[in-house]
Structures are given as C-alpha cells and as structure tokens.
Amino acid sequence: MINKVLIANRGEIAVRILRALRDMGIASVAVYSEADRAARHVRLADEAYCIGPPPSAQSYLNMDAILSTAKACGAQAVHPGYGFLSENAHFAERCEKEGILFVGPPADAIRAMGEKTRARQLMAEAGVPVVPGTLAPLDSPEAAEAAAETTGYPVMLKAAAGGGGKGMRLVERRAQIASAFRDASSEALKAFGDGSVYLERAVVRPRHIEMQILADGHGNCIYLGERECSIQRRHQKVVEEAPSPLVTPAMRASMGEVAVRAARAVGYRSAGTIEFLVDQSGEFFFMEMNTRLQVEHAVTEMVTGIDLVREQIHIAEGEPLSLRQEDVEIRGWAMECRIYAEDPQRNFLPCPGTIHAVRLPEGPNVRVDSAAFTRGEISMFYDPMVAKVITWGSDRDACAATMNRALMEFQIVGTHTNRDFLLAIVNHPDFKAGALDTGFIPRHFSGVSMPVSSPAAAADIAAAIYAYESSRKQPCTAPPQAAPSAWRRAMMGDR
C-alpha cells in the first residue's frame, strides 16, 4: 500500500493530483522551485520541499534533487503529472532503480512510443491503422499512380528529403497525378538537390480524436472512450470534449479496440492515450501515444465517473483494474477550456505577471482545476496555462451552454487571458454544430488579431467611476516606502 506520494510537477496538475491523494488518504509531498514558494501546490500539500532555482532544468527536471527528496521524506512513489519528466524513460528507470514506484508506464513502453517513427512501425505491425502510403520513394509517375490506387484519393506527394511545404502536392484525382509527380519532383530537386518523392493518403480537414486507455500489470486493458481535441492553435489544444460529435458507438468500440491493441503491443501499464488523425468520414489513423496523464483527462472523468489519478495510483500499487470494459459507461457530455495567460489581441503573446484578482466559476456542472490565485505570480519560467474550466451537460448543447456560463463567471484581473477568445469559440456556429477539424481556429479566427468586445456604456462609466474614486484616495493609502537599507543609505551618502 502506498501511503506517501511525491508529485514531481507544479501548477494545476500538481493541485489536481494532490486532491486525488487527499481523497485516497495518501500523504502528499510537493516539490517546488524557488519561483514557486507561494504556489498553490505547495500550500495544499502535506509536505513541501524546494528542489532548485526557477529554471525547469534546475528544478522540475532535476532528477537527482527529486529522487533524493523522495527518499529523504519516505515517499514510496512519484507521480510525474504531464510535461516535465512524465515521458522520460530514463527517469522511470532511475525511480525503479531507487526502489521508488513511478506512477506511469514501464520505461520500455515510454521509449517505444517516444521514438515516433519506430512507434509508427510497431503500430503498423500490430495491426493498428497508420496513414497509408509508400514511405519509400517512387521512381515514376506510373509508380505514383499505382500507389495511389492502393491508398485511395486524395493523396499527398511529399519530397523524401524535404519539409516546409516544398515539393508537396495535394492530388485529388487520378488525372492529375502524373503532372503533379513531375512538378513535385522537380521542385524537390531544386530545393533539396534530391528529387525523390513519396506518397501518402491525404487526410482533408482532419480531426484530432484520442482514446483514453487504462492498463494494469495483470494483462487487463480497457478503453474509457474518446476525446475530441480538434480545436487547436499552433498544435496546442485549446478546447476539448468527450465524447466526440463525430464518433458513433460502433466507431467508439472499433477505435477503443485498436487503442487497446496499441497499448498491449508495447506492454503498456497505467493511464495512456492513443491519438488518432480522423477524416470526416470517421476513418482513423494512429498518430502517436501519450504515455502519461493528459491535460484534458478531466472530460473523460466527467462523463465516465472514473477518477483517472486514483486508477493510476491503484495500478502503480500493483492492483488489478477494478473495472471491466462493460462497466465503462458514457453519461452526457463534457468540455474543457484551457485558460492561458496570453493576449489574443497581440498574437497570443504570453503574459507573465502578477494576478490582481481571480474569480472562479461555481455552481452546477462546473469543475475548475486551477493554480491561479489572487496576488499569485504567473511565472515567465513555465507554461502559461493557469487553469482549466470543465463543464458537464446531459447533452452537447447543455454542456456548451454551461461552458459559456462558466467562462462568463471566470475572471482573471491584472493580466491578459484567452477567456474572451474561448467564449468566441464556444459560441461559434460551427462549434455549436460540431463541425470541427484542426483547421477550425485558423479558418474562423485570423490567428493574429481576435475580435474585440464592442464598447459598452457600462464599461466606459465603470472606468470613469474607478478613475474618479482613485483620484479621491488619500495619498497616505499608497503602499509605504520600504525604509532604505543601511547599504543603500551609505550609497546615498545618508541624505
């Protein structure tokens, strides 16, 4: 039995893990960098230890400091959260060597899935669908034509040596392929000095849909349904939901079975996620596996009632899964919006700084996982995601309406956030209709300047009232000047 766990992370995920540990009656140990002394994960934990200076490399990625802290305080296990050391096979191995349980998969599974090309190979061998294509270069337009017959149209011709769009051609129909092959090849030759071209099925308006799995150390593996994560900005997920508006029960079962096959192929254990590229018809292809808890795991928790962190801990303790596949049931709909400290008006510039005040949404069907607090620092050293707002509804419309309500109640004053951008997304007609793909944000929002809320008399008057009241404040209430130190007085000639 585990009775003390060290959390090798910070921010909202450290807080979320702490809460699961408290629910389980397990003592929690926070670690923190010097920048995080006042952070919420430090204050909510049973114990807390400093592991180094602000830069991640010297603190949250500092394996020596983390492992020696774990040993010194008697933690039997380390939960890595997401990011940082969570997908570091070497760290998982070192934990094992030190006799500390790593709350995650075996190092070999991390490694197998970490090398993306090897993973794709492994998956293809295990019968997991990958985007069909040739991989090897084609030597003629006729060979391209033959290959396209196998994969099906549309296809993408790609320069074997290339990247950055050079030597790429999208081919919709057979009639175009020969000339496209010649164009691509000559462009590739010019750009890279190598005219080799290969071919892949083109996935048009792809959706990002992923499948959550749980596997124990006794050979049991189940899937907990999918999450749709197509709303992305620069490959960063922004809004996620479960289930996906595209996925039917039959498709869910088929994706789920494939995901379980993928996990078994690498001897997986713990919670994990298989990411699929899905075309609008519902055909899906393996992209990669995330061998850790996901940021967006909460939407799966909301619709299944399963606490994924609790399950991770039980699995790490060596227990068999408490659930069978038939116990997993999806109820209603859940969505997550990620609150980033960034300025949508200035090309999503990250906005570190001090939070002047926070108001979090409350009430029915709202969950908030947050690290933000009034007077809290958003540090320039770490990720700008400060909170997740998660809502549930009996159906997708109800869930989206509650997300709208929750976002309206959410407020961070003192720094910019993407809240209004998220409001614009969840109220967009295409979002409401479930017409999603990874091009949603670039297509509907310029990606550079976001719509600004129109002027409102109440806002103008509020600013005037604030200015008026501020002008009437007695100068005495300004923060008192710190007394100059002896050193400073000496420098100033003790004027």
Partner 1 sequence: MRFWIIRDERQIPVELEERPEGYTAVLDGVTYEVGCARILDGLYSLLMEGESYEVAVHSHEPGSYDVHMYDGVRHVDLLSPLDLVLRSQHGGPGTRGGSVRAPMPGKVVKVLVEEGQSVLKGQGLVVVEAMKMQNELQATADAVVQHVRVREGDSVESGAELVTFGGAQEGD
Q: Does 460 bind partner 1 (CB under 8 A)?
A: yes
CB of 379 to partner 1, least distance (A): 8
Both tokens of residue 464?
């005037």
Q: Is 402 helix (H, G, I), strand (E, B) or coil?
A: helix
Please give the Cα distance from 294 to 290 (Å, whole number): 8
Instruction: Indicate whether 458 belongs to the interface with partner 1 (CB under 8 A).
Output: yes
When the beta carbons of 75 and 107 are compared against partner 1, the nearer one is 75
Q: Binding of a second copy at residue 241 (CB under 8 A)? A: no
Residues paired with 391 in a beta bridge:
335, 366
- Two structure tokens written together for 297: 């795991």
> Considering CB under 8 A, how many residues would be counted as binding partner 1?
58
Count the site residues for a second copy by CB under 8 A: 40
Query: What does 305 interact with, of a second copy, partner 1, none (CB < 5 to 8 A by kind)?
Result: a second copy
- Concerning whether 207 is annotated as a catalytic residue, the answer is no
- How far is 347 from 97, CA to CA, in rounded Å? 45
338 part of the interface to partner 1, by CB under 8 A: no
Please identify which residue in the block is written with the tokens 């709202």. 366
The b-or-e profile of 165-204 (16+ CB within 10 A means b, else e) is eebbbebeeeebbeebbbebbebbbebbeebbbbbbbbbe
CA neighbor of 270 nearest in space, from 328, 212, 214: 214
Kindly list the distances between the CA atom of residue 275 and the CA atoms of 128, 209, 235, in Å, as whole numbers in the listed order. 12, 6, 13
8 A C-beta contact, residue 160 and residue 195: no
**Residue 413 binds a second copy, judged by CB under 8 A:** no
Euclidean distance between CA atoms 366 and 353, whole angstroms? 27
Q: Contact with a second copy (CB under 8 A): which of 210, 228, 240, 369?
A: 369
> Hey, is 267 helix, strand or coil?
coil
- Residue 79 bridge partners (DSSP): 7
Sequence-separated (6 or more) residues with CB below 8 Å from residue 461: none
Judged by CB under 8 A, which stretch of 136-144, 254-262, 342-350, 361-369 contacts a second copy? 361-369
**In the block, residue with structure tokens 């039917």:** 248
Distance of closest approach, residue 394 Cβ to a second copy, in angstroms: 6
Instruction: Write the single-letter amino acid at 209.
Output: I
* CB of 468 or CB of 487, closer to partner 1: 468
Say whether residue 360 binds a second copy (CB under 8 A): yes
Choosing among partner 1, a second copy, none, which partner's interface includes residue 135 (Cβ < 5 to 8 Å by kind)?
none
Contact region with a second copy (CB under 8 A), list: 23-31, 140-148, 150-158, 449-457: 23-31
Q: Specify the DSSP class assigned to residue 455.
A: P
3-state secondary structure of 75: coil
Stretch binding partner 1 (CB under 8 A), from 139-147, 191-199, 248-256, 350-358: 350-358
Residues 443-482 close enough to bind a second copy by CB under 8 A: 474, 476-477, 480
**Of the listed 111, 120, 201, 292, which one is catalytic?**
292
Q: Could you say whether residue 73 binds partner 1 (CB under 8 A)?
A: yes
* Token couple for 452: 């600004």
Q: Is 250 in the site for partner 1 (CB under 8 A)?
A: no
Using rule CB under 8 A, residue 365 touches a second copy: yes
Determine if 490 is a binding residue for partner 1 (CB under 8 A): no
Query: Binding residue for a second copy (CB under 8 A) from 34, 194, 288, 307?
Result: 307
One character per residue 33-72, x = contact with a second copy (rule: CB under 8 A): -----------x----------------------------
CB-wise, 117 or 454, nearer to a second copy? 454
Residue 186 is given by DSSP the state: H
Which residues does residue 88 pair with via DSSP β-bridges, in sequence order? Answer: none
Burial 117-133 (b: 16+ CB within 10 A, else e): eebbebbeeeebbbbbb
Is residue 413 a contact residue for partner 1 (CB under 8 A)? yes
* Residue carrying the six token digits 């709303």: 231
Among 324, 326, 362, 471, binds partner 1 (CB under 8 A): 471
Provide the token pair at 86.
Answer: 């969570």
Contact residues: a second copy, CB under 8 A: 15-16, 19-20, 22-25, 44, 298, 301, 305-307, 331-332, 360, 362-370, 392-394, 398, 401-402, 404-405, 408-409, 474, 476-477, 480
Active site members: 292
Contact residues: partner 1, CB under 8 A: 30, 37-38, 42-49, 73, 343, 346-347, 349-353, 356-357, 359, 373-375, 380-384, 408-409, 411, 413-414, 419-420, 423, 452-453, 455-471
